[in-house]
Amino acid sequence: MPHEFDAQTAVRPEGDGRYAAELAEGWVVGGGVNGGYLLAVIGTALRATFPAKPDPVAVSAYYLSAARPGPATVAVDVRREGGRVATASVELVQEGETRIAALATYGDLARFGDDVRTTATEPVLPPPDECVANTLAPQEILDLAPMMGRFDMRFHPDHVGWAVGQPSGRGELAAWFRLVDGREPDPVSLLMVLDALPPVTFDLGMMGWAPTLELTAHVRARPAPGWLKVRHRTRNMAGGMFEEDCEVWDSAGRLVAQSRQLAMQPRTS
Amino acid sequence: MPHEFDAQTAVRPEGDGRYAAELAEGWVVGGGVNGGYLLAVIGTALRATFPAKPDPVAVSAYYLSAARPGPATVAVDVRREGGRVATASVELVQEGETRIAALATYGDLARFGDDVRTTATEPVLPPPDECVANTLAPQEILDLAPMMGRFDMRFHPDHVGWAVGQPSGRGELAAWFRLVDGREPDPVSLLMVLDALPPVTFDLGMMGWAPTLELTAHVRARPAPGWLKVRHRTRNMAGGMFEEDCEVWDSAGRLVAQSRQLAMQPRTS
């Protein structure tokens, strides 16, 4: 049996750069299908397009309309191949309507070298057993967000005040993360992880859904097996929009993926 | 007389979403034409495409090959219009070869509201007259980078050690910025400003050219007239690549644009 993540992100080549996908019910959250999951579906089609360059290096996705569970087509248009990386324009389409327009550069991260020189600092989290599990969420939240059933997420106890009406106001969320059935992280699954936590605006006391306009992911290394650490931060809310920066760190203490998204501020009462 | 920036970023509509541009010699730097300038040329074509939504909100550009001075075509393919924003896929093409593939969302920033809630902090810079002007660069640098003649840039004295072989190693550059002939900043010119400073890797002692793979710009507000403050930072150099984050602050002390790019680490001797 394949892991559920692999079954749910699988694509079937139909020729001419087109791939058929089936968007799973299990990734619904709020008004649509989770954007990170959609990015992983697109990422799977791109991996199939570039067998010798199987890893996402940079992916920029513009979310044009909300996706629904069911059939979808990923249409890949290779814009440049040759050298160390390849770049494609991609669209995810349902019923003739573009859900996501994206650009992506792929490569082979294993051949990019192991040098690291960083001033970024790993999130400090208590051990997973001392954190707050997503499975503790009230049933009405789980009903609204079936996606929560796809992973084991353990929040820093200082970052879940919003769940009891006491957001910290700092604009930061951090959690341990792994897929439920032991499926280990890889570069394509990291595309999903970058958009799996609740919106960082929860920590600012805005509990609504925050639609993404644009998300750009950079995958910087293949992740080691085991728990990931994920951190969301925002600094600038202005003009009804905010930026959300995400970092994913692997069990070896390496910063393996970064993203920034521009999202609409949730409407709050 | 138009300002030189407007003359050099002008486009002529040719129908079917195609615009003719003439890339100016004056924006050459190292091996090609500056990527920020190219983004402003693309941005001008998009502004012409969306008269009621004249401002870039998010633009993601993938740099596929080096552009040269001379004629170019910007081809705009509108992917969604209606509502508060419009999104297009865009390519900048020379001699049949795609130089840049981009996605962009445009809107009217004046209608996005004035609320600001930020923890971002403005760069602290001595007054422009106490900073180090780009015009002081040695003639061989100015010959390699005619682009330096397009603007007045005043570096923080603590951020130019690299010019005398003493980089700080912090991975940070900050400077005052304005266009030479008094042309005030606007949302499209900010696209250029986000990629106008030298690569932040200069501050890490790597003096070579750092080719951009991908750059995503978010314009968050229309800038006030006057000097801009620009700051580049990097935190993570790994696998031969680094991310460069840029912030642009206007004379009213507002964070008006943010970008992140993924670039190739310069080859150094």
| Nearest alpha-carbon partner for B211 in B111, B3, B62 | B62
Q: What is the DSSP string of B97-109?
A: EEEEEEEEEEE-G
**How many domains is chain A partitioned into structurally?**
1
| pLDDT attached to residue A184 | 98
| Range scoring the smallest mean pLDDT among A220-224, B162-166, B236-240 | B162-166
CA distance B263 to B243: 6
B-chain residues within 8 Å CB-CB of A258? 236, 243, 260
B-chain residues within 8 Å CB-CB of A123? none
- Residue B66 banded pLDDT, cuts 50, 70, 90: very high
CA distance B155 to B231: 10
Inform me whether the C-beta atom of residue B52 falls under 8 Å from chain A C-beta atoms: no
Residues 6+ apart with CB under 8 A from B71: B20, B21, B22, B23, B94
Inform me whether the C-beta atom of residue A122 falls under 8 Å from chain B C-beta atoms: no
Q: Which of B120, B204, B216 sits opposite A260 (nearest CB)?
A: B216
Put simply, the answer to whether A103 touches B105 (Cβ < 8 Å) is no
With respect to residue B62, please indicate whether it lies within any of the assigned structural domains: yes
| pLDDT attached to residue B269 | 41
For residue A172, pLDDT over 60 is answered with: yes
Looking up residue A210, the CATH number of its domain turns out to be 2.40.160.210
Mean of per-residue pLDDT scores for chain B: 94
Put simply, the answer to whether A239 touches B112 (Cβ < 8 Å) is yes
- Residue A164 banded pLDDT, cuts 50, 70, 90: confident
What is the domain extent for residue A68? 4-109+120-264
With respect to residue B40, please indicate whether it lies within any of the assigned structural domains: yes
Q: Which chain A residue has the Cα nearest residue B60?
A: A60
With respect to residue A221, please indicate whether it lies within any of the assigned structural domains: yes
Length of chain A as a residue count: 269
Q: Which chain B residue has the Cα nearest residue A114?
A: B239
> What mean pLDDT is predicted for residues B76-89?
95
A64's tokens? 């044009």
Q: In this structure, are residues A29 and A83 in contact, taking their beta carbons and an 8 Å threshold?
A: no
Which residue is listed with tokens 């693309």?
A: B42
Q: In this structure, are residues A220 and B239 in contact, taking their beta carbons and an 8 Å threshold?
A: yes
- Residue A62 banded pLDDT, cuts 50, 70, 90: very high
CA distance B8 to B33: 12
Put simply, the answer to whether B64 touches A79 (Cβ < 8 Å) is yes
With respect to residue B33, please indicate whether it lies within any of the assigned structural domains: yes
| Nearest alpha-carbon partner for B36 in B11, B61, B3 | B61
With respect to residue A114, please indicate whether it lies within any of the assigned structural domains: no
With respect to residue B269, please indicate whether it lies within any of the assigned structural domains: no
| Nearest alpha-carbon partner for A266 in A215, A203, A195 | A203
With respect to residue A269, please indicate whether it lies within any of the assigned structural domains: no
Inform me whether the C-beta atom of residue A241 falls under 8 Å from chain B C-beta atoms: yes
Output the CA–CA distances (angstroms, integers) from residue B199 to A147, A247, B211, B237, B249, in the order listed. 41, 23, 9, 13, 18
A124 C-beta neighbours (distance < 10 Å), count:
9
For residue A104, pLDDT over 50 is answered with: yes
CA distance A228 to B167: 34
For residue B4, pLDDT over 70 is answered with: yes
Length of chain B as a residue count: 269
With respect to residue A115, please indicate whether it lies within any of the assigned structural domains: no
Q: What's the pLDDT tens digit per position in A205-233? A: 888 888 999 999 999 999 999 999 999 99
